[in-house]
């Protein structure tokens, strides 16, 4: 295989990975918005449970659920492939790494990605698998309609200090991952220009702070309430 073929193959992987990553960031904002409904006074988790039920039963959303899981898989697999290709392209590492030329966010993308993946597996086992396949979530009735009380499951999880600490650490690492990933995604899509690149970098910083801070705030409020 020629060097040009390898190069274009790598570019294609980066574009697909970037699109999958941007889709996942969008999902995180939706997820954060739904989680915030748990903090509504007097709601008794109804809005959260109805939103979770809608996300799990509405046909169009179920299609996006498949797309979402596909996005996770593509993002993870292509991330690993690109990292391995980078390692193979430079089998002999420099004695003194050029740390000043590469941000710490970029340096540890693969490491933070692996930790986030482990957290995601645990998260799916704790919530999605229990509700979808194991039937281990208690029911709750609203206006005669029986739903899974996923809201109570979330609250009970956030009452355990160990879970809260692990949850917060995972989202801090996610913030590090997003700081480089967001701006890198647009660069992979060819949207790299002196006029709007600084804006994208600033937006990347904002996103990398807002998402972890939002999820962390919800966990701490529930834990201390």
pLDDT tens digits, 3-27? 444 444 566 767 777 777 788 888 8
- Is the per-residue pLDDT at 126 higher than 60? yes
Q: Which of 54, 114, 48 is nearest to 83 (CA)?
A: 114
Backbone angles phi, psi at 139, to 5 degrees: -85, 160
Considering the segment(s) 3-224 as one domain, its CATH architecture is Up-down Bundle (1.20)
pLDDT at 91: 55
Instruction: Please give the residue that has the higher pLDDT: either 67 or 37.
Output: 37
Q: Residue range 196-211: average pLDDT? A: 89
Domain limits of the chain? 3-224
Q: What is the pLDDT of residue 106?
A: 60
- Tell me which of 13 and 144 has the higher pLDDT: 144
Which residues lie below 8 Å from residue 136, measured CB to CB, with a gap of 6+? 130
Give the pLDDT confidence of 88-101 residue by residue, as tens digits. Answer: 766 555 444 443 34
Q: What is the pLDDT of residue 84?
A: 73
Average pLDDT, the chain: 79
Residue 52: closest CA among 160, 158, 176, 137: 137
Q: What is the pLDDT of residues 96-121, one digit of tens each?
A: 444 334 555 566 677 777 787 888 88
Running DSSP on this structure, what letter comes out for residue 39?
G
Whether the per-residue pLDDT at 48 is higher than 90: the answer is yes
* Interatomic CA distance for residues 141 and 1, integer angstroms: 61
Q: For residues 101 and 110, is the Cβ–Cβ distance under 8 A?
A: no
Return the higher-pLDDT residue of 60 and 170.
170
Query: pLDDT per residue over 145-200, tens digit each?
Result: 999 899 999 999 999 999 999 999 999 988 988 887 788 777 777 777 677 788 88
Listed in sequence order, the residues at least 6 apart from 154 whose beta carbon sits closer than 8 Å to its beta carbon are 35, 38, 48, 127, 222
pTM of the model: 0.76
Answer yes or no: are the C-beta atoms of 52 and 148 closer than 8 Å.
Answer: yes
Q: In the structure encoding, which two tokens stand for residue 192, read together?
A: 């790299």
More confident residue, 33 or 81: 33
Average confidence (pLDDT) over 56-64: 74
């Amino acid at each position: 295989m020629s060097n040009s073929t390898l190069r274009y193959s790598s570019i294609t992987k980066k574009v697909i990975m970037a699109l999958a990553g941007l889709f996942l960031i969008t999902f995180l904002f939706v997820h954060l918005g739904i989680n915030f409904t748990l903090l509504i006074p007097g709601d008794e988790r109804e809005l959260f449970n109805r939103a979770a039920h809608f996300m799990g039963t509405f046909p169009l959303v179920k299609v996006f659920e498949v797309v979402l899981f596909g996005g996770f898989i593509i993002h993870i697999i292509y991330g690993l492939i690109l990292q391995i290709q980078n390692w193979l392209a430079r089998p002999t590492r420099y004695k003194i790494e050029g740390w000043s030329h590469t941000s710490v966010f970029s340096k540890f993308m693969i490491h933070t990605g692996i930790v986030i993946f482990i957290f995601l597996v645990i998260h799916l086992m704790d919530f999605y698998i229990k509700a979808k396949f194991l039937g281990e979530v208690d029911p709750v009735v609203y206006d005669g309609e029986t739903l899974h009380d996923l809201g109570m499951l979330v609250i009970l999880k956030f009452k355990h200090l160990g879970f809260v600490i692990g949850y917060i650490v995972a989202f801090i690492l996610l913030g590090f991952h997003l700081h480089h990933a967001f701006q890198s995604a647009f660069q992979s899509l060819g949207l790299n220009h002196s006029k709007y690149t600084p804006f994208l970098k600033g937006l990347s910083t904002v996103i990398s702070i807002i998402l972890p801070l939002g999820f962390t705030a919800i966990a701490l409020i529930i834990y201390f309430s």
